[in-house]
Amino acid sequence: MESWLERVAAIEREDILMFINSCFTCTGQKEFYSDEEGQKVSLDFLHDYILGNYRLLYARTLAAGINHYNIGQIIVKLLATGKNIEPKHKIEEGQLIAKALQNLPTQRAWKVLAQLQNLRINNRRSRAIARDYWQQRPELSFDAVKYGLKLKKIATHNHFALEEELGTFLFTPGEPKRYNTELFEHRRQANFSNEAIYKLPFTIAEGLAVKKGIPRAEFLTHIEPQMTRGEKLRYLQTAEKASTRIKQIKFDLDWKRLSLTRLALYILSLSIEQRKAEFDLFNQALLTSAQRICKNSNFQLGKVAAVLDCSYSASGSAEKRRRPLGIALAAHYLLQTSAREYRPFWTIPVSEPLMVRARGQTDLATPLLDALEWGADLVIIISDGYENEPPQGAAEVLRIYRTKLDPSHQVSIIHCNPVFDPDTFTPYILSPHIPTLGIREAEDLSTLVNFARFADGNLSLERLQDYLALRAKQMLLQSTKS
Amino acid sequence: MQTNFLLSDIQLTGLEIAPSQVKGAIRIVPLLKHNVRYDLRLKSQQYEEPLAIVSLSGKLLDPGLKYFSYIPQGLVMSWSDDGSPLASSGTQLGSGNGKKMFGGLLRVIPRMSKKIEHNQLRFLPLHLAMEGFLAMFFGGPEIAWSDYSRRARSQGLNPRCEYSYGGRSIIGLENALRVFEIHQQQVGVMIFVAEELASVFVVPTPEDYRALHSTLLQDFYGELIYQYAYVYQTTYPMNVTVDDDQINNLKDLRREIELVRNSWADFQGFMANSLLERPVISKKVYQAGSFTLQRFLTDIDSDQVNHIGEAIVRDTGELEYLKTYRLSALQTKRVHLLSKLAQYNWNLDDTAQGLNISRNELIYRFKKTGFDYLLTEQASRINLIEQRQFDEAKKL
């Protein structure tokens, strides 16, 4: 008979796990089985619930490796409710917020700060956080050109005293005849000269080029040096649908430095013929990218089997096109490089993973049985958890395997789910007998494999709290990213 | 020598039932085919007009029997005489599809089924079956009994109409079809709404099915299906569990999972027995080489669920195309009443005796099924007290 306190601890443990899991995967966007409104409402409720009940753990979740969207949400919610904080945790929370904000990609960080104005959040701490972030930006003039509207909002909201030229540029850009800051001057000249457009950041230049009627093909050839890797990749994706003249422009894209999941998503957006034609390039790029991740995170595994879902539901939604399948493909490459022995088991067998397509029914039971029969130490299932051939097939396999065939947990089985289910406030669970973890990028797999032992239900609440405290401490000690 | 094959009951010969996929109150059961021959193909042609008139006989715009409905698509079947495979050829909107009138508000279509080329036939899916249903006993009384109105005696049941609901008004159907994961070998589906069989749809090849999957939304469904989709949020929870005691190793487990799969198939076949285990009355519409296009109706049993539909059957008895519609209770009652009347030569007293009811109760049935326009004012009169008694009895 468990005591009252034990019961409370178990609930807290479940709550925190549920929250972290959701934060790994959900971004409030449309999914295959549910709309964006449901996703947002459900996730928002979860945030408020955890914030209200476990504030310290809520703040420390910032260090748990969750996705950027949720980091932003947590920061905003913490800043909005500063009154409720316990005095002894005040400093830690402030430091965590500042650090997390710094680690966010620039555009997301500015967005979070601009959101504070929309939500009418203005207090001493929020102003200090905004000020510190503002001051540590290495090149404010660049940010002012690229994210002008957001910076303007933030400056007004926090009553910043701006240096003369920055202030003029943000609030009365047309006034001066000349700017001393080089980039501001380019931006001013771009109103009149086509040459200056090509010295601006891509996103800004793009709009101006349309305004000036510069042909797209000409614009793209000139702007190339200004484009970031992400922008080039994004452009390549859209160029497939564009005219032949634009298609002919070849970018000097450093394939090997692209992030694994994004690269996988790009490749999946191509037709089978294109993938075949560039097979060596893509294969090599994915391998290099996976090797880099393994080296950086020291990710090493033994005999691993992956059960990968390539059913039609892996095609995701209009907002998250093919993301579940992209994660499965990226994970395939990552596991291939990190494991001593590895074998993939797709729901519909594919001869060459690069040619995989999201189609057909979900039969998880067969590949799972194959994986178990092969004798892996670790089985990783990447699936949205909806199976229909037969329904509950894999769930039954897992139940019997865990309770009867392998009760001592000789083989670890983890289910990684790329989809958040708004009805249950957590990624859809395949079976209660194995841990289900949210996943948004295959790069997070090493974090997830570590985290799985908590979700497995063997470790106590204290251990989970310690783990989060440790992660938080590590994050604060880590030097600022370059 | 060509043999035609008329159905006497619906059997899913050559098809395998796979486990269902559920979304909300809609359960969709995939039907798979492993031995696909490509000598028969189906292709859809979309009509955009909000109203279509089908000229059932004679020339397009001549006076005669016409069928009015919203018809969103026609199907073109192509077949080869020698059994050689056909590529899915693109068909063009040719003469067989009638012509547009009134600035695209109306389409006039010749016949329910029309041969457009040597090996191509265009027909209007489900409307073919519905037209057959409406035309049953359409002629009205053959002997001029004095109980029937003058109109009934001269024009029969004209005009005869039925109401149905479009797929888009079935709540949740659109979403269920969107998230449905089509199997590689799939050629058809059975659609259940709150566990009531709404329709069965089968085509000759998996490629055709993939192309026609979304047209299920353009079809029409019975009234009960609409109501069930409106009322129920979920299906009946069903689960098949594996028996722990039978399992000692992974091999056993694999065998048990295979059993689970089979029991799903059996059970879903059982769920559809209002159609699958019933004798049907079929009528040939067209003979295309070794394929027989026909429409059918389950035996009109007013105590059971009845379906109408159309099918293409190969001379070996294999089902190549099937589309069914579930009749509502009222529709069943109507056709039941008509069939009984026809059986007794439309004599009211004989029919009442045959049905084991009083003459007034028979009149009451005429009223309740909306056929009282067939009777004279005098004949359709029943006193109020009796009418109330019938109402009470019906409620019980």
Lowest-confidence pick of A5-14, A60-69, B316-325: A5-14
Which of A33, A359, A392 is facing B239, going by the closest CB pair?
A: A392
Confidence of residue A221 (pLDDT cuts 50, 70, 90): confident
Q: How far is B185 from chain A (nearest CA, A)?
A: 9
For residue A87, tell me if it sits in a domain. Answer: yes
Residues A55 and A193 in one domain: yes
What is the Cβ-side half-sphere exposure of residue B39, based on CA atoms within 13 angstroms? 15
Asked if pLDDT for residue B256 goes beyond 50, the answer is yes
Tell me the mean pLDDT in the region A296-300.
Answer: 84
Q: What pLDDT sits at residue B95?
A: 57
| Domain range enclosing A445 | 261-462
CA–CA dist A100, A58 (Å, integer)? 13
The angle formed by the CA atoms of residues A247, A249 and A250, to the nearest 5 degrees, is: 110
Can you state the percent helix, strand and coil of chain B, rounding each to 5?
Answer: 30, 30, 40
Under an 8 A CB cutoff, do B250 and A365 touch?
no
For residue B370, tell me if it sits in a domain. Answer: yes
Residues 361-380 of A with CB under 8 A from B: 361-362, 365-366, 369, 372-373
Cβ neighbours of residue A90 closer than 8 Å, sequence gap 6 or more:
none
- Closest by CA to A33, choosing from A396, A428, A462, is A428
Confidence of residue A249 (pLDDT cuts 50, 70, 90): low
| A16-61 confidence digits (pLDDT tens) | 888 998 999 898 888 888 888 889 999 999 999 999 999 999 999 9
For residue B355, tell me if it sits in a domain. Answer: yes
CA–CA dist A232, A106 (Å, integer)? 18
- How many domains would you assign to chain B? 1
Residues A192 and A271 in one domain: no
Task: Please state the ipTM of this predicted complex.
Answer: 0.84
Confidence of residue B230 (pLDDT cuts 50, 70, 90): very high
- How many domains would you assign to chain A? 2
Asked if pLDDT for residue B267 goes beyond 80, the answer is yes
Q: Coil, strand or helix: which one is A346? A: strand
Contacts by A271-275, CB closer than 8 A, 24 or more apart: A272/A355, A272/A357, A275/A354, A275/A355
B359-368 and B348-355 helices cross at what angle (nearest 10)?
90
Asked if pLDDT for residue A457 goes beyond 80, the answer is no
CA–CA dist B80, B93 (Å, integer)? 21
Asked if the C-beta of A403 comes within 8 angstroms of chain B's C-beta atoms, the answer is yes
Under an 8 A CB cutoff, do B254 and A369 touch?
yes
CA–CA dist A61, A189 (Å, integer)? 46
Under an 8 A CB cutoff, do A400 and B257 touch?
no
Does the global pTM surpass 0.90?
no
Asked if pLDDT for residue A481 goes beyond 50, the answer is no
Tell me the mean pLDDT in the region B69-91.
Answer: 81
Under an 8 A CB cutoff, do A391 and B264 touch?
yes
Q: What is the dihedral of CA A128, A130, A133, A135, to 10 degrees?
A: -70
Tell me the mean pLDDT in the region B47-64.
Answer: 84
The token pair that represents A301 in the structure block: 């595994």
CA–CA dist A184, A1 (Å, integer)? 70
Q: What pLDDT sits at residue B268?
A: 87
Q: What pLDDT sits at residue A443?
A: 87
A164-171 and A182-189 helices cross at what angle (nearest 10)?
30
Hey, which of A68-72, A191-195, B265-269 has the most confident mean pLDDT?
A68-72
Asked if pLDDT for residue B200 goes beyond 90, the answer is yes
Residue where the block lists tokens 């056993």 = B252
Q: What are phi and psi of B125, to 5 degrees?
A: -60, 140
Q: What pLDDT sits at residue A129?
A: 95
- Closest by CA to A375, choosing from A342, A348, A349, is A342
Asked whether the beta carbons of B323 and B293 are under 8 A apart, the reply is: no
Residues 24-63 of A with CB under 8 A from B: 32-33
Asked if the C-beta of B264 comes within 8 angstroms of chain A's C-beta atoms, the answer is yes
Q: What pLDDT sits at residue B374?
A: 85
Tell me the mean pLDDT in the region B280-302.
Answer: 89
**B326: which DSSP letter?**
E
| A438-454 confidence digits (pLDDT tens) | 998 888 888 888 788 77
Taking the CB of residue A126, how many other CB atoms lie within 10 A of it? 21
Tell me the mean pLDDT in the region A73-100.
Answer: 93
Asked if pLDDT for residue B93 goes beyond 60, the answer is no
For residue A223, tell me if it sits in a domain. Answer: no
For residue A316, tell me if it sits in a domain. Answer: yes
Q: Which helix (H) or strand (E) holds A340?
A: strand A339-346
Asked if pLDDT for residue B227 goes beyond 80, the answer is yes
Residues A176 and A77 in one domain: yes
| B358-392 confidence digits (pLDDT tens) | 888 888 888 888 888 888 887 777 777 877 888 88
Residues A297 and A435 in one domain: yes
Which of A348, A372, A389 is facing B19, going by the closest CB pair?
A: A389
Residues A79 and A188 in one domain: yes
| Domain range enclosing B368 | 347-395
Confidence of residue B396 (pLDDT cuts 50, 70, 90): low
Q: What pLDDT sits at residue A188?
A: 93
Asked if the C-beta of B244 comes within 8 angstroms of chain A's C-beta atoms, the answer is yes
For residue A250, tell me if it sits in a domain. Answer: no
Look at chain B and count its residues: 396
The token pair that represents B221 in the structure block: 């469904």
| A260-277 confidence digits (pLDDT tens) | 999 999 999 888 998 998
Residue where the block lists tokens 């698509």 = B73
Under an 8 A CB cutoff, do A361 and B249 touch?
no
Average pLDDT over all residues of chain A: 89
Instruction: Report chain B's terminal Cα–Cα distance, integer Å.
Output: 57
Q: How far is CA B343 from CA A45, A110, B372, in A?
A: 66, 82, 19
Q: What pLDDT sits at residue B300?
A: 83
For residue B13, tell me if it sits in a domain. Answer: no
Maximal C-alpha separation, chain A = 80
Q: What pLDDT sits at residue A482?
A: 36
Q: What is the CATH number of the domain that holds A400?
A: 3.40.50
Asked if pLDDT for residue B188 goes beyond 90, the answer is yes
Q: How far is CA A259 from CA A233, A240, A264, in A?
A: 11, 21, 9
Q: What pLDDT sits at residue A446?
A: 85
What is the Cβ-side half-sphere exposure of residue A325, based on CA atoms within 13 angstroms? 28
Asked if the C-beta of B261 comes within 8 angstroms of chain A's C-beta atoms, the answer is yes
CA–CA dist B239, A415 (Å, integer)? 22
For residue A313, tell me if it sits in a domain. Answer: yes
| B125-152 confidence digits (pLDDT tens) | 999 999 988 888 887 888 888 888 888 8
For residue B374, tell me if it sits in a domain. Answer: yes
For residue B128, tell me if it sits in a domain. Answer: no
Residues A203 and A280 in one domain: no
To test the contact with chain A by mutation, choose from B182, B248, B254, B257 the residue with the greatest count of A C-beta atoms within 10 A, namely B257
Which of B23, B183, B264 is facing A360, going by the closest CB pair?
A: B183
Q: How far is CA A176 from CA A146, A166, A312, in A?
A: 19, 12, 57
Tell me the mean pLDDT in the region B318-335.
Answer: 90
Residues A88 and A157 in one domain: yes
CA–CA dist A4, A281 (Å, integer)? 59
Which residues in chain A have Cβ-Cβ distances shorter than 8 Å to B261? 389-390, 393
For residue B380, tell me if it sits in a domain. Answer: yes
Under an 8 A CB cutoff, do A313 and B181 touch?
yes
Q: Which helix (H) or strand (E) holds B41?
A: strand B40-46
Under an 8 A CB cutoff, do B239 and A362 touch?
no
Confidence of residue B3 (pLDDT cuts 50, 70, 90): low
Asked whether the beta carbons of A313 and A362 are under 8 A apart, the reply is: yes
Which residues in chain B have Cβ-Cβ distances shorter than 8 Å to A32? 179
- Closest by CA to B20, choosing from B332, B279, B238, B318, is B238
Q: How far is CA A8 from CA A15, A19, A85, B6, in A?
A: 11, 17, 22, 69
Q: How far is CA A229 from CA A65, A224, A258, in A?
A: 23, 10, 7
For residue A13, tell me if it sits in a domain. Answer: yes
Q: Coil, strand or helix: which one is A35? A: coil
Tell me the mean pLDDT in the region A399-413.
Answer: 90
For residue B156, tell me if it sits in a domain. Answer: no
| A170-196 confidence digits (pLDDT tens) | 999 888 889 999 999 999 999 988 889
For residue B372, tell me if it sits in a domain. Answer: yes
Which of B179, B241, B250 is facing A396, going by the closest CB pair?
A: B241
For residue A299, tell me if it sits in a domain. Answer: yes
For residue A68, tell me if it sits in a domain. Answer: yes
Domain stops at, among A211, A226, A245: A211
CA–CA dist A162, A159 (Å, integer)? 9
- Closest by CA to B255, choosing from A41, A13, A396, is A396
Confidence of residue A479 (pLDDT cuts 50, 70, 90): low
Q: Is B353 exposed, middle or buried (0-12, 13-18, 19+ CB in 10 A)?
A: middle
What percent of chain A has a predicted confidence (pLDDT) above 90? Answer: 53
Q: What pLDDT sits at residue B392?
A: 82
Asked whether the beta carbons of B208 and B182 are under 8 A apart, the reply is: no
